[in-house]
Structure 1
Amino acid sequence: MHRARLTRIRLNLAHPAVRRDLADYVGLHKTLMRLATHDPGCPHPRRDAGLLFRLETDHKIPLLFVQTKDEPELDGLPRGYGATDTIDLTPVLQHLDTSMRVRYRITANASVRTPAPHSAPASARRGPVIALDGPDALAWWHRRATRAGLTLETATLQPRPYRRPRGAGPGPHHRLTQFDGTALITDAHALAGALVHGIGRGLSYGAGLLSLAPA
C-alpha cells in the first residue's frame, strides 16, 4: 500500500542554515534527509525514505514542501529552521479515482538523454543528458504526465533556478521547470505510484514532487 506524509516548512530567513541551504540544493538535500527514516546501511537512503521536496520562493515567506514515506523526524532540523506542519497523504492516495479533475503543480528536471555517436566507445554509448525548455519541456511533461496516469487539459511552465555551491557551475542538465495546470486522472494506480516515487531526474535536488488539489 502506498503511503506518504507531506510537511510544509515556512522558512526562517534569519537562520544561517536556511540562508546557506537556499543557495545550495546539495546542502538543502542533506538538511532535509535529517527528516527521513531509513534502514542503516541502505544503499539508496533517499529512495528508501521516499524523500522528495519542492522549494517555492514566490511567497512572502519561502515555503518548502517535503514528502516522506513515514512520519518525519522534525527534531532532526536545526533549531529555529522554520515553522512546520505535516499532513498524512495516505488517504488521498487510496481515494484517487479515474475521471477526477485535478489541479497540479510539479517542479521537474525536464531532460533527455541523447543518443551517442556510433563511433563512441561502449562505455559512452548512452550519450549525454541535456535540459529541455520551452515547447520541448512542455512536450516532455505531457509524455511524463501520461505515463503517470494524467491527461493534461492545461499546462504552463516557468523556469526555476537550480542552486549550486559558489564556484560549482551547474551541469548541462541541472535545470528546473515548474509546471502548473489542470488534468484528468486516467490511471489512479499509476498516479499513486508517481506521487510517492516522484517523476523524472533530480529527485534529490528539488525535482519530481507532484502536488494535486481538486479542480
Structure 2
Amino acid sequence: MNTPAPTLTLLTLNPRHKRARADLTDVNALHKTLMKLVPNDLGPSPRAASGLLFRIENGTTPAILTQTHHQPDPTRLPRNYATHQTRSLTPTLKALRSGLTVHYRITAAPVVSLTAHATPHPVTGRTRGKLTSLTGEPAISWWQRRAAAAGLFPLTIDATPMRSHFRRSDTPGPYASLTRFDGVARITDPTALATALTHGIGRAKPYGAGLLSLTPA
C-alpha cells in the first residue's frame, strides 16, 4: 500500500488558551495534543504510522506547523485552541526537479554517536555510542551531510539555536538542543528529497524536529 501524500496544517495558537500556553512550555504535552489530529487506531507506533512531524514557529503569534499522512481533524483539538489552515503537500512533491533552487527550513536535532563512550545495550548487547548534541560549526557540518543525503545542496545556511520547550524534569538528553536551519539550496535528487519531505530528517521527531519545508526561490 502506498503512503498517502502528506497534509500540512498550520495551527495559529490562541494565546489566551490555557492549554495552548502550557503546550508551548512542554513539548511532551504538545506532542500528545497534536496526536489528537490523527486517528486513534494506528497500532503500537502511532506517531510513525501517522507520519506526524511538527515545528514550532516563533512569531508575533505562536504557531505550530504540522504534517501528517492522514487528513487531520482539527475539531478533535481542545475548543478554541487554535485556528488552522490545511493544504496538501502533493503540489510541492510534483514540482521537485534536479537543478531547481529553493528556500528551505528545518528544525533538527544534530547529534553524533561517540564510540569512545560506547556501552552495550542491556537487552540486545549491541554496542552503541553515546549520543551527544552538536552546536555551531559541527551542527552546520551535520546539516550539510544530511541535506546531501536528502537530495539538497545548500547554497546558504543560517543556523539558529532554538530555545528549549522542555520542562526541566523532562529534558531528553541530547534532544533538548535543537537547531533551526534556513537557507537556499539546489535540488540534486528529487526522489531522495521527496522521501525526506514525506518522512522527515534526523532524530527527535516526537520533540518537534525533522520537518523539512521548501518554497520556491
TM-score range, shorter chain: over 0.9
SS across alignment from 1:126: strand
Pairwise CA distance, 1:41: 5.5
Pairwise CA distance, 1:170: 4.7
Partner of 2:48: 47
Q: 2:134 corresponds to which letter in structure 1?
A: L
Q: 2:207 corresponds to which letter in structure 1?
A: Y
Structure 2 CA distance for aligned equivalents of residues 181 and 191 of structure 1: 16
Partner of 2:145: 143
Partner of 1:18: 20
User: What is the percent sequence identity of the aligned residues?
Assistant: 45
Specify whether residues 50 and 169 from structure 1 end up closer, same or farther in structure 2 by C-alpha distance, changes over 3 A only: closer
Partner of 2:164: 162
Structure 2 CA distance for aligned equivalents of residues 51 and 169 of structure 1: 21
Q: Which of 170, 182, 190 is residue 180 of structure 1 equivalent to?
A: 182
Q: Which of 200, 203, 214 is residue 201 of structure 1 equivalent to?
A: 203
Are residue 103 (structure 1) and residue 109 (structure 2) matched?
Answer: no
**Contact 2:113/2:131 (8 A) holds in 1:** yes
**Contact 2:42/2:50 (8 A) holds in 1:** no
Normalised to the residue count of structure 2, the TM-score between the two structures is 0.92
**Contact 1:35/1:74 (8 A) holds in 2:** yes
Uncovered stretches (5+) of structure 1, i.e. residues with no partner: none
Structure 2 CA distance for aligned equivalents of residues 100 and 150 of structure 1: 10
Structure 2 CA distance for aligned equivalents of residues 110 and 170 of structure 1: 14
Structure 2 CA distance for aligned equivalents of residues 140 and 15 of structure 1: 37
Pairwise CA distance, 1:167: 3.4
Deviations 1:76-112 (A, max 9, x none): 1101011101011112212211111000000000111
Partner of 1:212: 214
- TM-align CA RMSD: 1.7
SS across alignment from 2:8: strand
Partner of 2:133: 131
Q: 2:65 corresponds to which letter in structure 1?
A: F
Pairwise CA distance, 1:3: 0.7
SS across alignment from 2:16: coil
Partner of 1:82: 82
SS across alignment from 1:47: helix
**Contact 1:116/1:126 (8 A) holds in 2:** no
**Contact 1:109/1:200 (8 A) holds in 2:** yes
Normalised to the residue count of structure 1, the TM-score between the two structures is 0.93
SS across alignment from 1:55: strand
SS across alignment from 2:75: helix
